[in-house]
Amino acid sequence: ALDCFSSSGGFALHLDGRCEQVEAVDASEATLGRAKQNAGLNQIENVQFRVGNVFDVLATHAAQKRRFQIIVLDPPAFAKSKSSINKAISGYKEINLKALRLLDSGGILVTCSCSHHISPADFSEMLAAAALDAGKTLRILEQRVQSQDHPVLLNVPETLYLKCTIAEVL
């Protein structure tokens, strides 16, 4: 598995029991230090931690023809304002396209956005475009939002900030 934007290792550490090997990537060495601590506290030994720019790491893995069974994309908010929506969607599409190219049939993509300026429809449209460009067919297994302790208010669209799609490459 490949966990991109790993932060403190939440996804990577949960993948431990399900995967032979997990690579956790984040640009922050300090953050990955906390992820390593968390792995140690939980006696997890099959996660490799790598400091790096996820866009570059995905490109390097593609050049090396690496393949993964599971890829998790959980970046920080790319759209911090309405004026950055188009650039953010471009960024989301780029990482999803690069990730999809590293997955074979049966591979699982877990892709997230915590940008409240990106609607669920925009996120799904971006993912469909990335899949089309990658020449992949995706089957949606689940679509999730933030937990119930972060309620969504119908009159306040910004409260629906977290989008998570779990898809299988067919």
Q: Which residues are catalytic?
A: 114
State the sign of the Cα–Cα–Cα–Cα dihedral 83, 129, 92, 112.
positive
Q: Is residue 26 within 8 Å of 35, Cβ to Cβ?
A: yes
* 64 contact partners, CB below 8 Å, separation of at least 6: none
CA–CA separation, 79 vs 115, rounded Å? 5
Structure tokens belonging to residue 131:
């899949």
How many Å apart are CA 82 and CA 122, to the nearest integer? 13
Q: By the 8 A CB rule, do 17 and 42 touch?
A: no
